[in-house]
Amino acid sequence: MRKPQYYNLNAILEYDPIVKGWSAYVPELATVGGATFGDTAEEAIKNMIEVVEMLIEEYKEEGKPLPIQSENFSPHVQVRQIEVAV
């Protein structure tokens, strides 16, 4: 069994009062589907970790480098660091 590789990424969370839920995305992976949502911030983070795990596995299987995209974001959002092991 191979040792997992760890990635430390920032997850951006924003509450939407209209839908009464949280959106979450990882800026480095936003252009390739690195986004999700949840009823709570904690659920959005849990979902974000699952999405990132799937994206990283897909890129590894295809032998492609992970896309990196920097982004400036609004001061009205939360930034949380997430750790993903795949």
Q: What's the fold here for domain 6-81?
A: Double Stranded RNA Binding Domain (3.30.160)
What DSSP state is assigned to residue 65?
Answer: P
Q: How far apart are CA 40 and CA 62, in angstroms?
A: 33
Q: What is the pTM of this model?
A: 0.72
pLDDT at 70 over 70: no
Are 1 and 80 in contact by the 8 Å Cβ rule? The answer is no
How does residue 19 score in pLDDT terms, banded at 50, 70 and 90? very high
Residue 4 phi/psi, 5-degree rounding, is: -70, 150
- What confidence tens digit (pLDDT) does each residue in 41-57 have? 999 999 999 998 898 88
Helix (H, G, I), strand (E, B) or coil at 71: coil
Q: 56-65 in b/e burial notation, b at 16+ Cβ within 10 A?
A: beebeeeeee
Domain boundaries along the sequence of the chain: 6-81
